[in-house]
Chains A and B, each alone.
Chain A
Amino acid sequence: MDLKSVRNKVLRIAPEVTVEEYRGCVRLTGELDSWDKIYRCGVAAVTKGSLGVLNDIRLKGFSEKVKTPSLADDALEGARPDVLVVGGGITGCAIARELSRLDISVLLVDKANDVGTGASCRNDGCIHPGIDLHKGQAKLHYVLRGNELYPEMCRELGCDFERWTQMFMFSTWWERFIIAPLMILKGRLLGIPKVDFVSRRKIKQIEQTPPSWFKGAVRMGSAGVVSPYKVTIALADNAVMNGARISLNTVVTGMEVRDGKVVSVSTNRGKVYPALVVNAAGAFSDIIADMAGDRTFTIHPRKGTDLILDKKKAFYALSSFARSYFAPLPKEQREQGHEAVGHTKGGGVMRTVDGNILVGPDAHEQPYREDNSTDLDSVNAIIRKQKNVAEQLSAGDVITYFAGVRAATYEEDFVVRKGIFTENVIEAAGIQSPGITAAPAIAKDVAGWAKEMLGAKEKAHFDPVRPHTPRLAGLSAEKRADYIAANPDYGEIVCRCEEVSKGEIIDALESPLKVCTVDGVKRRVRPGMGRCQGGFCSPLVVKIIAEHEGIAPEEVLKGDEGSRILFGDTKHAEVEQ
């Protein structure tokens, strides 16, 4: 590795930073007062021949209050799982499911009160074709394989999957004649199936309201959409069905590493002695890798915001599309130094598997790993920018918006490998976009390595199929009537906007991975996801959860501990009692 040139590049940004080689990595230390500088130093430290960047430059005065469960018990004390998976995002849950095919004991821990509460529930659910990736990237390998695995996996798990195409649209003739053929060629070289050109005539058969500037598009027929949190939950459910144990509200606080081996893992619920540790900790994966003595990378959190539109506006996009960024936008539409250009495809407009239009995302570097808050500038900028693509878009179409944090590494690639410095650890780290697409393929590799490392065998009775109730509103009248005849709760509609019945909510409460929160129910069967955002149904959902669980309504949580919705009886209720 050429440390000298790296040092020169970094020192040009911040002369006070120390640049050194550490165990094959480039390590940066020091203290700066600007996150932007720290980020740029990290980017400058990427170099061939290095294992990765360890950016340990501190941001002056910065600290993040990271959420940790207050729960402290010994539920896991002394547990000796064959594999401990740290992190219950889509990567961790997909790994747990793959591991549950094996004749071994699997424990997955997540610090939240549900799986899939981080980036896995804060993205657009796009199954990417991989056209923006490059040969040699781990990302490309996993995206191509993951994309192929999705249809069958979703069939088994009972999750919706649609092969809705993705289009990269051109606003100028030169892009149409130069970029388009190059992209199609690149698609062929990377082995991406079904990449073709869409002319101005053909677009009318594909989209109802294509942009007025449309000069042509490259279409990726292998793109698709899923509900990312539903897939995560379904993977977890299926893992649990097959014997994996999932411990929620469980945070890893430390590891004991001796002679290049993780001996024990401390949690708030007791000390665990796993034979193998899988790091799928998302935005915290560098911290977990560090605990395991195997860190070769650094996470720099990158926030993205997406807007969700009313289903009435579903005609804006029948597939998903974005405007090519090669030609600059007209001057009056340009954003002023707002975006971290280059690490998002610029966002776009897409139809989710549930029929909403999703607009975004953008990309902003930030020091916070858990700050999922939204801000007005981002929301307004996304509306302004995507108005170029969905030209009828207006702020009034937006029913809600959310932000998520991408677990990006400075190499902008996934870290999926066996431990380098610690022998009984596997990294599935730095998984950001397109991590939803990649997860099933990452899980196959990780489980394969685990199998070989543990000398494990396939289980005789693995059941890949997760029984589930179909979304009743989508059924024919006859089929729906059959369900209601069997269980009248299926005929009682609780959420009017999304047409969700009481029966479906109770089914969600009885899932293999039991999560009895309002958000948990919402992510599983959608009450509160419509245009009234739970205004009408949230009291009913609270009541159903309370009755089903035999608890008082004030004990029902929205999400994690501390998220109580109600504070007990009113004064007058007390008088009446």
Chain B
Amino acid sequence: MKKYGVIVIGGGPAGLAAAESAKKAGAEVVVIEREARLGGILKQCVHDGFGLIRFGEKLAGPEYAERYIDEVKALGIECRTLTFVTGIEKTQGGFVVHCVSRDGVVSFEGDSIVLATGCRERTAKQVLIQGTRPAGVFTAGTAQNFVNLMGKLPAKKCVILGSGDIGLIMARRLTLEGAEVEGVYEVKPEPSGLTRNIHQCLYDFDIPLHLSHTVTRVFGTDRLEAVEVAAVDGGMRPIKGTERIVECDALILSVGLIPENELAESLGVKINPFTKGPDCDQSYATSVDGIYSAGNALNVFDLVDYVSECAASAGANAARGDKDGKCVTLSRGAGLLSYVPHRICLDKPHDKVVVFFRSAKDMDRATLRITVDGREVFKKKFAFLRPPEMQRLEVDFSAFGLGADSELGISLEEN
């Protein structure tokens, strides 16, 4: 069996960036993609706004993907599409990835693996919507697939639950494609999506946004006929007496994304309870030697540019294949919703560590602090932090005099 340096699972933006950098770092690389085409979810993201950071220009999703696909092809990286990973086996010297494809049952042997498996959408039942089970209840991504890839309209008049970015994008898209969007309902008191999307997708099209409201029930036995919406209290519980019936033929949900880590879990990779992706160090190495995680499988990002950056780093590190060494856990302090990395490996370069984080709530002005043994070693001020908008900064951890038994902490304070 041919042996690869790096096996990349997933041919979306993370997988492609990881493959490119792993190849450039000298590894023999194979990309395994279950769909017929590379590009992942970007294939159906026909709106623009991708690539401002990475390429300095606004690209549509497929254009952004195309740049990486072209590069991967130019580098001669082997890409196996319509190939589905059924299991990963740990061996003496690395891993064997078992797959099925139209060619049969195939296996790939490699030293390291980058898991770039993306994320999935939460469903109506997972947010406890009740009632019947008619046609017409879609996650935003599914609706986007129908509209943008199949050219078919899944709604004539719809209600959107959740103000996540895909929901907002779909509100605009469906309006442009001839459907009516009755309104966007958000259970939280503030929107979940990027501010620019609230303006460009809702306000510019006069679509009302109902904050602190949710959909509680769907009606209709064959096709959706109506939904029940209600205001919610501080604990996000529906308030009795505020229910209202909205007639519509579709309910579109943008109620959160969950990193897909079933493969990681099967390998015993430790999952972080806040990101729902693997615990990782600054090289994106997980708790299992040789397994790296990148992109939305690691941590749901809001900008693809950051996905690419993190994945490129994961790919290069996977190619180098440094073993895990002495690590210091980066402990979670107040004010943070989530962050990566979760630990700093002292045996790996740690002078230019990229830290991604989200604030736990809206903060007009805040200070991010890193402490070693209770002593502040780093601080940076931020303005207008919002949980939906991930922040990025570079930190030189090598300057902090870290030892294996140092207590390293990160926190965010509003001021």
Chain A residues within 8 Å of B, Cβ to Cβ: 67, 312, 370, 372-376, 379, 395, 398-402, 473, 477-478, 480-481, 484-485, 488-489, 491-493, 496, 499, 501, 531-536, 538-539, 542-543, 553-554, 557-573, 576
Asked whether, in the complex, the Cβ of A568 is within 8 Å of the Cβ of B153, the reply is yes
- Indicate if the CB atoms of A488 and B102 lie closer than 8 Å: yes
Residues B133 and A491 in contact, CB atoms below 8 Å apart:
no
A576 with B128: in contact, given A376-B216, A485-B104, A560-B222 (CB under 8 Å)? no
Q: How far is the CB of B149 from chain A (nearest CB, A)?
A: 7
CB-based contact A558/B134 at 8 Å:
yes
Instruction: Give how many A-B residue pairs fall within 8 Å (CB-CB).
Output: 141
Known: A373-B132, A531-B120. 19 other contacts (CB 8 A): A67-B221, A398-B126, A400-B123, A477-B105, A481-B105, A484-B102, A484-B103, A492-B102, A493-B100, A499-B84, A532-B121, A535-B139, A560-B222, A562-B222, A563-B223, A567-B153, A567-B155, A571-B176, A573-B151
Residues in chain A near residue B331, CB distance under 8 A: none
Residues in B whose Cβ lies below 8 Å from that of A402: 133
Contact B135 A373, beta carbon cutoff 8 Å? no
Residues of B within 8 A of A562 (CB): 222-223
B94-109 CB mask vs A (1 if < 8 Å, else 0) is 0000101111110000
Chain B, Cβ-Cβ closest to A572: B177
Given contacts A375-B130, A566-B146, A568-B152, contact A533 B100 (CB under 8 A): no
A535 touches B142 (CB 8 A): yes
- Contact: B121 with A570, CB < 8 Å? no
What secondary structure prevails in chain A residues at the interface with B?
A: mixed
Please state if B130 and A312 are interface contacts (CB–CB under 8 Å): no
- Residue from the list A312, A395, A484 in contact with B100, Cβ < 8 A: A484
Query: 4 smallest A-B Cβ distances: which pairs?
Result: A573-B151, A562-B222, A558-B135, A493-B84
Say yes or no for B131: interface residue by CB 8 A criterion: yes
Q: Give the nearest-CB partner of B124 in chain A.
A: A533
What per-residue 1/0 map shows which CB atoms of B125-145 lie under 8 Å from chain A?
A: 110101111111001011001
A477 to B153, CA, bound (A): 40
Given A567-B156, A570-B177, CB of A543 within 8 Å of CB of B150: yes
Known contacts being A372-B132, A398-B126, A570-B153, is A480 close to B223, with CB within 8 Å? Answer: no
Contacts of B262 in A (CB 8 A): 312
Q: Taking each of B147, B151, B152, B177, which has the highest tally of chain A beta carbons within 10 Å of its own beta carbon?
A: B152
* A532 cross-chain contacts in B, Cβ below 8 A: 120-121, 123
Distance between Cα atoms of A554 and B142 in the complex (Å): 15
Minimum CB–CB distance for B44 against chain A, Å: 9
In the complex, are the beta carbons of A538 and B142 less than 8 A apart? yes
- Say yes or no: A570 contacts B152, CB within 8 Å: yes
Tell me whether B154 is interfacial, beta carbon within 8 Å: yes
Residue contact A563 to B135, C-beta cutoff 8 Å: yes
Q: Do A473 and B141 touch (CB < 8 A)?
A: no
B: residues with CB less than 8 A from A are 34, 82, 84, 86, 98, 100-105, 120-121, 123, 125-126, 128, 130-136, 139, 141-142, 145-147, 149-156, 176-178, 216-217, 221-223, 249, 262, 265
Q: Which of B100, B176, B262 has the most CB of A within 10 A?
A: B100
Closest residue to B145 on the A side, CB-wise?
Answer: A539
Across-interface contacts of B82 in A (CB, < 8 A)? 491-492
The smallest beta-carbon distance between B352 and chain A, in angstroms, is: 36
**25 cross-chain CB contacts under 8 A:** A370-B221, A373-B130, A373-B217, A379-B128, A379-B130, A399-B125, A400-B125, A401-B125, A477-B105, A484-B103, A491-B82, A491-B100, A491-B105, A534-B142, A536-B142, A563-B134, A563-B135, A565-B154, A566-B153, A567-B155, A567-B156, A568-B153, A569-B151, A569-B153, A570-B152
Q: Which residues of B contact A567 (CB under 8 A)?
A: 152-156, 249
Closest to B144 in A: A539
**Chain A residues closer than 8 Å to B121, beta-carbon distance:** 532, 535
Contact check, A539 vs B150: say whether CB atoms are below 8 A apart.
yes
A571 touches B177 (CB 8 A): yes
Whole-angstrom CA separation of A439 from B247 in the bound complex: 41
* Contact between B178 and A571, CB atoms less than 8 A apart: yes
Chain A residues within an 8 Å CB radius of B177: 570-572
Residues of B close to A564: CB separation below 8 A: 135, 223
> In the complex, A375→B228 CA distance in Å?
12
The answer to whether residues A539 and B216 also contact, given A480-B105, A563-B135 and a CB cut-off of 8 A, is no
In the assembled complex, how far is the CB of residue A223 from the closest CB belonging to chain B, in whole angstroms? 28
Bound together, the chains give a CA A576 to CA B151 distance in angstroms of 10
Neighbouring A residues of B149 by C-beta, 8 Å? 539
- Are B154 and A491 in contact (CB-based, < 8 A)? no
Closest to A560 in B: B222
In the assembly, what is the distance between CA of A402 and CA of B265, in Å?
Answer: 28
In the bound complex, how far is the Cα of B152 from the Cα of A394, in angstroms? Answer: 38
Q: Which residues of chain A are near B223, meaning CB under 8 Å?
A: 562-564
Q: Give chain B residues whose Cβ lies under 8 Å from the Cβ of A560.
A: 221-222
**Identity of the chain A residue whose Cβ is nearest the Cβ of B266 in the assembled complex:** A312
Q: For A532, give the chain B residue with the smallest CB separation.
A: B120
- Chain A residues within an 8 Å CB radius of B153: 566-570
Interfacial chain B residues near A67, Cβ < 8 Å: 221
Instruction: Please give the distance in Å from A440's CB to the nearest CB on chain B.
Output: 28
Q: How far is the CB of B73 from chain A (nearest CB, A)?
A: 23
For residue A318, give the distance in angstroms from its CB to the closest CB of chain B. Answer: 19
Contact A569 to B152, CB < 8 A, known contacts A372-B132, A373-B130: yes
Tell me if B141 and A535 are in contact (CB < 8 A): yes
B155: which A residues are within 8 A, CB to CB? 567
Chain B neighbourhood of A370, CB < 8 A: 221
Nearest CB of chain A from residue B362's CB, rounded to whole Å: 25
Pair B128/A395 contact, Cβ less than 8 Å:
yes
